[in-house]
Amino acid sequence: MNASINPFSRVVTLASTASNPIAVHVRGKIIWIAASEITHLRGEGNYTHIYTHKGTTYLVSKTLKSVIETLRADFMRIHKSCAVNPEFVTARVEPDTLLLTNGARLPIARRRMREIQTLLSREYLAVG
């Protein structure tokens, strides 16, 4: 991923193939993050933590629902406060936990387990 910086602008663009990026303010600049770069999202009230596959975390002042709608990507809502990009799911290691490529373990809500298992089966992943 390459970043292009215009010296006369406060906007940094991260080059990517995704068509629905989200704007994040970092140190007075705006960084655009593509949905394909995001492993998962964690919501805390009116704030959402965005986790990327490179290990970077960003905080935006938007609800989890709003961020998912902005990205318009295939994020799976696995818990009230958590959504995951299915491209980064490696396995379902326990009945109620997903393992991501970056080593993160995310809880699955009991009422969403059947739905998640069906979605993961379609993605040809081992669901334990």
Residue 109: the pLDDT is: 94
Half-sphere exposure (CA, 13 Å, Cβ side) for 9? 8
- Higher pLDDT: 122 or 40? It is 40
Q: Which strand (E) or helix (H) includes residue 117?
A: helix 113-122
- Lowest-pLDDT range of 46-50, 78-82, 105-109, 114-118: 114-118
Answer whether residue 67 shows pLDDT above 90. yes
The alpha carbon dihedral of 40, 48, 21, 111 has a sign of: positive
Domain that holds residue 10: 3-122
Please name the amino acid found at residue 127.
V
- Looking at the DSSP bridge assignments, the partners of residue 99 are 91, 105
Spatial separation of the C-alpha atoms in residues 52 and 58, rounded to whole Å = 8
Q: Are 42 and 49 in contact (CB under 8 A)?
A: yes
Residue 128 in any domain: the answer is no
How many domains does one find in the chain? 1
Residue 86 in any domain: the answer is yes
Residue 127 in any domain: the answer is no
pTM of the model: 0.78
Answer whether residue 108 shows pLDDT above 70. yes
Residue 27 in any domain: the answer is yes
Residue 41 in any domain: the answer is yes
Residue 98 in any domain: the answer is yes
The CATH number given to whatever domain includes residue 54 is 2.40.50.1020
